[in-house]
Structure 1
Amino acid sequence: MEITRDEIKSRLSLRIAVGAMFFMAGLSFASWASRIPAIQQSLHLSEAALGGVLLAIPTGLMCSLPFTGWVITRIGSRKLLIIAITCYAILLVGLGAARTVYELLGCLFLYGFAGNAANIAVNTQAVATEKLYAKPIMASFHGIWSMAGFTGAGIGIFMIGQHIVPLYHFIVIMVLIIIGVVITSRNLDEDCDARVKDEVVVLSIGERIRSMTPLLKLGIIAFCSMICEGTMFDWSGVYFKKVILAHNGWIGAGYFAFMCTMALGRFTADWFAGVYGLRRTLILSGSLTATGLVVAVVFPYLWPAIIGFMLVGAGVSSVVPMIYSSAGKTTIMSPGVALTAVSTIGFSGFLIGPPLIGFIAGIATLRASFLLIACMGLSVAIISGRTRLN
């Protein structure tokens, strides 16, 4: 069926609006991350105290999961996204204004809560947008989030160089995000509970349990991949310092290499999945992740480790976007609820990964712990090969 010019314009407007929302979410998170050292210094927090404080974000994230699944079926992803992304920006200012540890803890909890609500809502919008195209586009949205991360880090470096305190820095970001929400929100998909219910197939209890199995497998694939991703975020610098014995200027090289290939991989994953299929894409992703970690463990030298971390970045880049895309196409529940279910399983891996690394490193070595994480990458490939994917 031929698509009219108005339909092309409408879906392009939706894609731009959803992409803008991904960018604003990434910009908010990166802005916070770029000023953590300054906030740590202003509140006189030790490394151990900072680590404890930062747990408030994943705590808020996990607490938001059941709430998000409930509310998205009642008000729709568009309204939830507008509310959540606006709160995300306002709470960013709260983080900059915090003058005590307790104020920071409270703001971080709410920041994680709002951030995950925005994450689920914007991915639900992305699923709706992808349905209008005859090709995968989900990974490109996550690539935009990664681009926002680089942008936010760059703005943070500029603000630090100009000796601008986090509060004023965050106010600027908040204003930009709110303006962006006002401009783009009118073009978001106006989903509603009635329409979602029409799309959900009514199944018997037995059929529903059997049909939930592929969704559970999707969550397990996300879980394994996000263990690897969480490890890279929290332990790449430590690995380069203590195992690679890199000089100070090169300690961040592994993390930078990982981030670059992860961003690049998200812009190429849609094309690859369109040509070779979702299953082959996930199998390759898991294989690249496992191979990269093994290279970094077997050859603990600067350049082999950098290459290994690049492979890990390319491997994990497409897994979560593709899993979200597949979960959003389920017919046994609304896309928002399906995404919430998969996110609950997946993000638990993101939280478990870093502490697991520390525990194994304590009883064995850091290299041994990274080798175990390589098994998680291999699990992505194996489970993907045995899972029915939409």
Structure 2
Amino acid sequence: MELKNKQRIALSVFFFLSGICFASWTSRIPNLKNIFQLSYAELGTILLTMPIASMIGLPISGWLVARFDSRVPLSIAFTLLGVSVFGIAFSPKVIFLVMSLGVFSFSLRILNVSMNTQAITLQKMFDKKINGSFHGLWSTGGIVGLLFATLLLRWNIPMNIHLSIIAAITIVTTIVTYRFLVTNDRATSGNKIIFGKPDPYIGYLGLLIFFAAICEGGMFDWSGQYFHDVIGVEVYTTGHLLFMVWMALARFASDYLIVKLGMPKMYALSALLIIVGIFIAIVFPYYWPTLIGFSLVGFGTGPVIPMTFLLAGGSRKYSTGMAVSLLATYSIVGMLIGPPLIGYISEALNLKLAFITFALAAFMLIPISQLFFRHKRSLE
């Protein structure tokens, strides 16, 4: 087997594993809310720990991908991720949960930058588009993680046993797979943030990924709670699961759809699907209509972040690693600001109306993407 194919498989494993870890944590949010007797606002405040930790990781992640081959911070971050999942599983008090979530988010910040740097490097080795498939595997990992969580919920397996299994798998897989990752991908230039006039290229992409991440992060953390509180079902992971299934399908299909439709139309289509899906779930708050709505949101959300990270490789101002690091900041902040925002709006109004936030965020993809492609054409 060619080296680049081995490297692609190894990186695919990490994308898949990352999806499992994230879905496993989010699947247990309703349990944590009940264990610690949290209100919507209190849960939102705890979730606010995550964007704060992510911002702390901004300069560190940029420095790591500039200083080392990206597989080094990737492996360190995955090991820390496993440790933090153990911490979430066994937190006796809220303060320990907050600390564990901080480490969890900090690790996500570093591994997202490292994985996407590897993905863009590998994309340059292949003639066909492969970037969307990596993000599709992240979503597939999320599906597997949710299926596993759903089974354990049905069997009444405690949360600490569930998350301990995930943590152990994460650490062991990292140790085994590390040596197969891409090497010698450290850029020699463009590794420093250049202060002065903002770069419109990165700025527009950052806003696109920020609003997409608000939808994605909010759906990850609150879809289970929506089915639990608004729809009123005991096995509350089904909506989250179907959202992830359609997100994965969209990401696997995104490479083909981009060729057929082009990226400008893909951004508009994604926005439209998210808006329609959210309003179906709000206007018809029943089991099957909400499943359909969440499916549309998943298919709409799926392509946006992979497309945007892929465009980062075209930056003329920054290296691939630094451009990805900057965009990952927008991505993680959006993904992790979305959940607490929904919590506060739910406390003030209700959870159903709070979901309108996702439709508003999706709408912003249309004008911002048009501005970006207009700017991109001016550079050509």
Show the 5 A alignment for 1:25-104: 25-36=18-29, 44-48=35-39, 50-104=43-97
Deviation at residue 142 of structure 1 after TM alignment: 1.6
2:312 is aligned to 327
Q: Which moved more, 1:122-131 or 1:158-167?
A: 158-167
In structure 1, stretches of 5+ residues that fail to align are 1-5
**Aligned CA-pair RMSD:** 3.4
Contact 2:6 2:180 in 1 (8 A): yes
What per-residue deviation string (whole Å, max 9, x for no partner) do you get for residues 337-388 of structure 1? 2112112223333334344445556777766654454232122123212313
- Measured at CA, do residues 231 and 69 of structure 1 come closer, stay the same or move farther in structure 2, by a change above 3 Å? same
1:109 aligned partner, one-letter code: G
Structure 1 residues 24 and 257: CA distance shift in structure 2, 3 A: closer
Q: How does 1:189-228 map to 2 (within 5 A)?
A: 189-193=182-186, 196-197=187-188, 200=190, 209=197, 212-228=199-215
User: Quick one: which amino acid aligns to residue 15 of structure 1?
Assistant: R
Structure 2 letter corresponding to 1:222: I
2:107 to 107, 111, 114: 114
Scaled by the length of structure 1, the TM-score of the pair is 0.82
User: Is the alpha carbon distance of 1:114 and 1:183 closer, same or farther for their aligned partners in structure 2, counting shifts above 3 Å?
Assistant: same
Bigger shift: 144-153 or 303-312? 303-312
Query: What pairs with 1:221-236 in structure 2 (closer than 5 Å)?
Result: 221-236=208-223
Residue 3 of structure 1 is matched in structure 2 by: none
Q: SS of the counterpart of 1:387?
A: helix
Contact 2:47–2:340, Cα closer than 8 Å, also in 1: no
Aligned 8 A contact 1:261 1:314 in 2? yes
Structure 2: how far apart are the matches of 1:127 and 1:24? 19
Q: Is the Cα–Cα contact under 8 Å of residues 7 and 182 in structure 2 kept in the other structure?
A: yes
The change in CA–CA distance for 1:56 and 1:303 in structure 2 (over 3 A counts) is same
Would the alpha carbon gap of residues 172 and 337 (structure 1) be closer, same or farther in structure 2, given more than 3 Å must change?
A: same
The code of the aligned residue for 1:248 comes to V
Q: Tell me, in whole angstroms, the C-alpha distance in 2 between the residues paired with 1:104 and 1:369.
A: 25
What's the counterpart of residue 10 of structure 2? 17
Cα shift readout 1:32-85 (whole Å, capped 9, x = no counterpart): 3444566666xx511235554443333322221221112211113111101111
- Return the letter of the residue paired with 2:308: I
Task: Report the CA distance between 1:313 and its aligned residue.
Answer: 1.1
Deviates more, 1:45-54 or 1:317-326: 45-54
1:329/1:190 CA distance change after superposition, 3 Å: farther
CA positional deviation for 1:320: 0.8
Cross-structure match for 1:143: 136
Q: Which amino acid aligns with 2:212?
A: S
* Equivalent position SS for 2:364: helix
Answering whether residue 338 of structure 2 is matched by residue 338 of structure 1, we say no
The residue that corresponds to 1:379 in the other structure is: 364
Number of aligned positions between the proteins: 373
SS in structure 2 opposite 1:386? helix
The answer on whether the counterparts of 1:78 and 1:191 sit within 8 Å (CA) in structure 2 is no
- Give 1:126 deviation, angstroms: 1.0
Matched, 1:257 2:248: no
CA contact (8 A) 1:285 1:381 kept: no
Q: Is the contact made by 2:74 and 2:114 (CA closer than 8 Å) also made in structure 1?
A: yes
Inter-CA distance 351–152: structure 2 relative to 1 (3 Å threshold):
closer
Q: Which letter maps to 1:219?
A: G
SS in 2 for 1:112: helix
Matched, 1:266 2:251: yes
The change in CA–CA distance for 1:241 and 1:118 in structure 2 (over 3 A counts) is: closer
Q: Distance in 2 between matches of 1:327 and 1:353?
A: 23
Shift in alpha-carbon separation, 1:291–1:172, aligned structure 2, 3 A: closer
Tell me how far apart the structure 2 counterparts of residues 167 and 302 of structure 1 sit (CA, whole Å): 29
**Partners in 1 of 2:237 and 2:151 — Cα distance?**
19
- In 2, are the aligned partners of 1:292 and 1:311 still within 8 Å (CA)? yes
CA shift in 2, pair 1:102/1:221, >3 Å? same
Deviation at 1:112, TM superposition (A): 1.4
After superposition, give the CA deviation of every residue in 1:227-250 in whole Å (9 maximum; x if it has no partner). 2223323444565677xx645368
Q: Looking at both structures, which has the greater relative contact order when contacts are Cα pairs under 8 Å and sequence separation is at least 6?
A: 2
Query: Are residues 1:185 and 2:185 paired?
Result: no
Tell me which amino acid in the other structure corresponds to 2:147.
Answer: G
**1:289 is matched with which residue?**
274
Native 8 Å contact 1:361 1:368 kept in 2? yes
1:74-103 alpha-carbon deviations (Å, 9 max, x no partner):
113111101111121123223334334333
Match of 2:262 in 1: 277
Structure of greater Rg? 1
**SS of 1:189 mapped into structure 2:** coil
Contact 1:73 1:334 in 2 (8 A): no
